[in-house]
Structure 1
């Protein structure tokens, strides 16, 4: 498995998060973002115990290859 960093938030004060990765083995994205902990927001979700949700800024959508070009990941 190889993870490929596709983009990092240019507005991140620490330069670490959020970040978008592509997993070339599973053909899935891995998204690093801010963990949602607000009980009111979480109560609106049907979230299984083995899952979590993160907040990911709209400005980061540009790093998905399908958005930034007509090609797929790493084509």
Structure 2
């Protein structure tokens, strides 16, 4: 795995901040974020978001939250992943 740092939450202090990387080998975007609170997680687990797909979060997947102020960082990660 060859991770390329893309950006970190601009309002970060010292640790535990949402961060974005691009895996240069797989062209995947890797995101560190906050765990959702129980209410949001419950809504995700109990709602069928896409017709034909099971409710809930499959075992190998996770949900994280990141602030909207990181949208420019996500755009850059998407552009970087496509250029690989």
User: Normalization by structure 2: what TM-score?
Assistant: 0.70
- Hey, which bits of structure 1, 4+ residues long, moved more than 3 A? none
Could you say if the C-alpha distance between residues 9 and 66 of structure 1 is closer, same or farther in structure 2, counting changes exceeding 3 Å? closer
Which of the pair has the greater relative contact order for Cα pairs under 8 Å at 6+ separation?
Answer: 2
- Point out where structure 1 has 5 or more consecutive residues left out of the alignment: none
The Cα offsets for residues 30-69 of structure 1, whole Å up to 9 and x where unpaired, read as 0011112x222111112123321111111111012277xx
**Residue-pair matches, total:** 70
Cα RMSD for the two superposed structures = 2.0
Relative to total residues, which structure has the larger strand share, 1 or 2?
Answer: 1
* Greater gyration radius: 2
Relative to total residues, which structure has the larger helix share, 1 or 2?
Answer: 2
User: Normalization by structure 1: what TM-score?
Assistant: 0.76
Is 2:37 the partner of 1:30? no
1:11 aligns with 11
